[in-house]
Structure 1
Amino acid sequence: MRPVTATTATSSGSTHEVFNQPPPLAGHDVAADAALLEAAEREGAGWAVADLHRLGRLAGGEQAQRWGDEANRYEPRLLTHDRYGHRLDEVEFHPSWHRLMDVAVAEGLAGAAWADPRPGAHVARAAGFHVWSQVEAGHACPISMTYAVVPALRQSPELAAVYEPLLTSRVYDPGLRTPGQKRGLLAGMGMTEKQGGSDVRANTTTAAPAGDGTWTLRGHKWFTSAPMCDLFLVLAQAPGGLSCFLVPRVLPDGTRNVFRIQRLKDKLGNRSNASSEPEFDGTVAWLVGAEGQGVRTIIEMVAMTRLDCVIGSASGMRAALTQAIHHARHRAAFGGPLVEKAAMRNVLADLALESEAATALAIRLAGAVDRNEPLRRLAIPVGKFWVCKRQPAVVGEALECLGGNGYVEDSGLPRLYRDAPLNSIWEGSGNVQALDVLRAMRRAPESVEAFLAEAGAAAGADRHLDAAVADLRERLADTSDPEARARRVVERMALVLQGSLLVRHAPAAVADAFCASRLGGDWGQTFGTLSPSADLAAIVERAAAPE
């Protein structure tokens, strides 16, 4: 790894001679990521590698970086009424938002994978989502929800027949118009309410049959992202219990449905994406799935958005790691390049382990979705719990690698840091994921068998992993105080699964260091505390983006 040699200041007397600053990180291929490409290949999407590199070069270019910056710098604006007092309930976005969305939809990162029968279609889509989300994370929200809505909508075939061809389109067609007159649609969801949060069974929004096959909704949702989507899946209390409904923004006759946006949320991060509080008052809706089975219906959508939370967090980690390594390769301190300093190299290697483990798990989960494996039921909430919680720690440490340079907005790391906690909260925070794992173990014992089979597939290859698998089996067999122990068990499940993947598929330097630190206990309480015997240089070299 050869860093750029730092220059020295001239004796011209200038106080603004720029030296020992890294060059801009632009013009690189974001998809030139060994961990990502190898995972995509083994999970059945080798046919998509050329497209990933094409997307990666776009993602690493100055133009896309400018789009991401502008979409966050010029935040969405709520337009409740026109000049005459008529309700609009629209959100205005900067043109760069639309450019990001256009690329994402055209590349098939929204619903296109469902229309592609090729093996590996969902893996290819996941890898592309990983690459493109490194440009800007906020616009990934409506892209993810559009991807996720299809399996839920299929529970009502007559609705799927109308909307699925447009949800799986590769055409981004913004603006509120009659769905049937558009070339492509986007979808969102409205689940949570102010009094319930994750406890959606406490929802008070009501649904009454209108007598013509439609339903009428009345209520107020608390956190509905991407309100300019064309349609939403919404939970409401019907006479037969909590049910799932399809709510289009524009009705088939061209009139606007009642979707009164009360306000946009003023959020910590994810600021390019509008999150709203919509009010329903006589809103027209169509029942999706069976009445009274709302959670069972919409959980098909939730599972896919949880998968994207894992992919998105792995993507954010990778973006931060790339910045940290780039800085360390080009910044000199205390007589030499930072990347050659033992303390910095240990930090970078530790971050690289976390990033590769997250990427390997995310793409493995996409493979399980692609092949509809029982593993997905248990492993997705396990991955969501752990990977999303690691992102803020990784981004924070990567930011520190740049010192003060990382704390200024121009570096891009403050935006990554503000966005980092979101995926751990969205679609159920840590406790919700841990409890969902317990529920899956009770209701789908075949998923436990699949999980243990996956974890044990590397038996005999690493003593730390073997001991961790044995320990995990004991923990899973212990039925005492399951809720109090849930987080500890799920954390162990995630680390064991990541260790198994790395032992089987990553270079020895990566797998050995991960298992010794995360499973064997040879690790401190902070990043940069790997054993000095680990092959730190090899780990960093593998993770470094090509210059």
Structure 2
Amino acid sequence: MQESSVQGLPAFETHRVDNQPPPFEPRDLWADDGALREGVRRGGAGNFEARLHAYGRLAGDELYRLGFDANRDRPRLRTHDRHGHRIDAVEFHPAYHRLMELAKGHGVAGLSWHEPGAGAHVARAALSYLHHQVEAGTSCPLTMTHAAVPVLRREPSLREWADKAAAPHYDPRDVAVAGKSGITLGMGMTEKQGGSDVRSNATTATPLPTGDGYALVGHKWFFSAPMSDGFLVLAQAPDGLTCFLMPRRLDDGAKNAFRVMRLKDKLGDWANASSEVEFCGARAWRVGGEGRGVATIIEMVMLTRLDCMLGAAAQVRMALAQALHHARHRVAFGRRLAGHPLMANVLADLAVESEAATAFALRVAAAVDAAQDDPQAAAFARVATAIGKYWLCRRAPAAVNEAQECLGGAGYVEESILPRLYRQAPLNSIWEGSGNIQCLDVLRALAREPAAAQALQAELDAAAARDPLLEREAARLRQQLSAGADVLETQARLLVERLALLLQGSVLLAAGSPLATAFLRSRLGGEHGLALGTLPPGIDFDAILARALPL
């Protein structure tokens, strides 16, 4: 007869699995997220709810699982085939292509354009938010493809490119665009000598004698998504910095004259390929006038910055969901983790941070949606994307790390999604202009664009009418904005931070969010520490957590 151990296990068996949470997935990320659903309805996108619900179920199940495979097996560059021909092919795990297929097919990269109408931008923003929670690397080509469409539509000769970028079809084949029903687009702005100072770009664009485009010669230090069908790039034409569309394959199917030198070994964003390239007389077509490169891409930049906001909000949301799921099932020191008052404060504070980020990002998406018919909405969107990108992207790394602490060591292990979120979190603050660039852009918009200043002032006035704390903060900001240019620049980060907090508080109040009071008291009322988990007394943590994630 075999002996048993005192724990009731067979002899010599020591391993019992208990006090562990069940798997996070499958979950319905749409049904779980009250703030998202309410923001979509406020933004006039209620008619898209059925599709958003379908994608929320998909994101919380198949996409969630695919994300682990796509990041575990990173892209690889093959510069030559076995016969010695230069191919510059990027190979991906099949999970990457499945993620792209589902995202493209459901409109993450094109719903705004192939189904235009009221609420389309808000619905597309919600799709992007759902997708980014479970796999952020694919968000890069999806965002660039989406943002390039309105820029390309301004050039009649590039209409095919715009239409196929907007189309809900994914085709990973390396063939000429004419043979595809859907395409993806990348970007090449950054050069090693300039970084964010794109006006110092040294890549040259020489008009071809035939009049059919330009020849590009130069180098790009960061060339995003080199597997794409085409790329928007900046280069110096005879009349100055100009925007170009450079195809991967020419019309006859021949490979364009650029070389992928290497893939960047990045901190995160592992499912996506970023590269360094050389242009060796690559054919490209002008987008916008010569010398108007920055002006041409400004609309694209505004849309990609909105997706940076959405990405940051998505990361905080998934981190919160992971932490709360764990804390509700894990017992420590005699009770569920979520039942300990200090842990409840941390989780509730994360929930406040998450809802404020989501509500603000969707408010800006609604302004983008209204921009075509409402100049004030367009002006607000212009300045609010820079404000939101600075602040939300600044907050995401700290929030994700706080969620990791809720899981302890398990939050630092790759079997959890949290390490991937933590590596991803700093990226959105760097991409499309770092924090200082965003803050200086806000100052520039307020000083040089009267419509932007007026739209922001209207928003401040509306906020001031909603609550005494907001009224006090709006008055402080008006006083700060009256300071001289030199003072404003040195204090730009503080100014943009306060603008972001005021706008977040205003959106939460206008939405009737039950978390508005907690946000105002903690973020604007001075009843908060430097760390998350420092909400003031009297806040109903249980109510906040019940709203944050259904049991």
Deviation at 1:105, TM superposition (A): 0.2
Q: Deviations over 1:207-252 (max 9, x none)?
A: 1000223100000100011101101111001110111111000111
Which consecutive residues of structure 1, in runs of 5 or more, have no partner in the other structure?
Answer: 1-8
The CA deviation at 1:24 is 0.5
Instruction: Name the residue aligned to 1:245.
Output: 244
Aligned AA (2:434): S
Q: Identity of counterpart residues, as a percentage? A: 56
Name the residue aligned to 1:54: 54
What residue number does 1:11 align with? 8
Q: Which residue of 1 aligns with 2:409?
A: 404
Give the match for residue 196 of structure 2.
Answer: 198
Structure 2 residue 495 is the aligned partner of structure 1 residue 497: no
Pick one of 521, 529, 534 that aligns with 1:529. 534
Q: Could you tell me which amino acid in structure 2 is paired with residue 205 of structure 1?
A: T
TM-score, with length taken from structure 1: 0.96
- How much has 1:456 moved relative to structure 2? 3.2
In the alignment, which residue of structure 1 is the partner of 2:3?
Answer: none
Q: Against the structure 1 CA distance between its residues 64 and 111, is the aligned structure 2 distance closer, same or farther, given a 3 Å change threshold?
A: closer
1:74-127, CA deviations, whole angstroms, 9 ceiling, x for partnerless residues?
A: 000000001121100110000000010001100111123113222000100000
More displaced 10-residue stretch of structure 1: 345-354 or 108-117? 108-117
Equivalent residue, structure 1, for 2:45: 45
Could you tell me which residue of structure 1 aligns to residue 263 of structure 2? 264
Secondary structure in 2 matching 1:402: helix
CA displacement at 1:51 relative to structure 2: 1.2
TM-fit CA distance, 1:457: 2.2
In the alignment of these two chains, the number of paired residues is: 535
Match of 1:390 in 2: 395
- Does the CA-based 8 Å contact 2:149-2:163 persist in structure 1? no
State the AA in 1 paired with 2:65: R
Between 244-253 and 437-446, the greater mean CA deviation after superposition: 437-446
Deviation readout 1:374-399 (Å, 9 max, x if unpaired): 21111000000000111001000001
Letter in 1 for 2:55: L
Query: 1:336 maps to what in 2?
Result: 335
Contact 1:175-1:228 within 8 A present in 2 as well: no
Instruction: Name the aligned partner's letter for residue 41 of structure 2.
Output: E
* Aligned counterpart for 2:450 among listed residues 431, 445, 450: 445
SS at match of 1:365: helix
Q: CA deviation at 1:460?
A: 4.3
Matches of 1:333 and 1:462, distance apart in 2: 40
Q: Distance in 2 between matches of 1:178 and 1:461?
A: 55
Q: What residue number does 2:307 align with? A: 308
Q: How does 1:120-269 map to 2 (within 5 A)?
A: 120-159=119-158, 161-212=159-210, 213-269=212-268
Give the letter for the 1:419 counterpart.
Q
* Counterpart Cα distance in 2 of 1:157 and 1:439: 32
More moved, 12-21 vs 32-41 = 12-21
* Rounded Cα–Cα distance in structure 1 between residues aligned with 2:184 and 2:128: 16
Partners of 2:449 and 2:113 in 1: CA distance: 25
Q: Is the 8 A contact 1:152 1:299 kept in 2?
A: no
Cα distance in 2, alignment partners of residues 278 and 444 from structure 1:
36
Deviation (angstroms), 1:506: 3.9
The AA in structure 2 aligned to 1:498 is Q
- Write the distance in 2 (CA, Å) between the matches of 1:395 and 1:347: 12
Aligned partners of 1:110 and 1:162: how far apart in 2?
16
Query: CA separation in 1, counterparts of 2:513 and 2:282?
Result: 56
Q: What's the secondary structure of 1:432's corresponding residue? A: helix
Q: Deviations over 1:241-264 (max 9, x none)?
A: 111111000111211111200000
TM-fit CA distance, 1:496 = 0.4
Mapped contact 1:77–1:93 kept (Cα < 8 A): yes
The CA deviation at 1:65 is 2.3
Matching residue's letter, 1:171: H
Select between 333-342 and 377-386 the one with higher mean Cα deviation: 333-342
Q: SS at the partner of 2:415?
A: helix
Specify whether residues 536 and 162 from structure 1 end up closer, same or farther in structure 2 by C-alpha distance, changes over 3 A only.
same
Displacement of 1:144: 0.1
2:319 is matched with which residue?
320
Judged with a 3 Å threshold, the aligned counterparts in structure 2 of structure 1 residues 479 and 155 are, in CA distance, closer, same or farther, namely farther
Alignment of 1:462-501 (within 5 A): 462-480=467-485, 481-501=487-507
- Amino acid corresponding to residue 383 of structure 2 in structure 1: L
- Which structure has the higher relative contact order (CA within 8 Å, separation 6+)? 1
Query: Is the 2:132–2:311 Cα contact (8 Å) retained in structure 1?
Result: yes
In the other structure, the counterpart of 2:86 is 87
The alignment partner of 1:262 has SS state of strand
String of CA shifts for 1:390-448, please: whole Å, max 9, x gaps. 10010000010001111111111111100110000000000000011011112222222
1:376 aligns with 2:381: yes
> SS at the partner of 1:411?
coil
Residue 288 (structure 1) shift: 0.7
Q: Secondary structure at the match of 1:541?
A: helix
Aligned AA for 1:41? R
Q: Distance in 2 between matches of 1:491 and 1:151?
A: 30
In the alignment, is the contact (CA less than 8 A) between 2:311 and 2:428 conserved in 1?
yes
Does structure 1 conserve the Cα–Cα contact (< 8 Å) formed by 2:464 and 2:472?
no
8 A contact 2:260–2:277 mirrored in 1? yes
The 8 Å contact of residues 463 and 503 in structure 2, kept in 1 or not, is answered as no
Contact 1:155 1:297 in 2 (8 A): no
Q: CA deviation at 1:321?
A: 0.4
State the Cα RMSD in Å: 1.3
1:10 shift after superposition: 4.8
Give the C-alpha shift of residue 180 in structure 1.
1.2
The 8 Å contact of residues 142 and 186 in structure 1, kept in 2 or not, is answered as yes
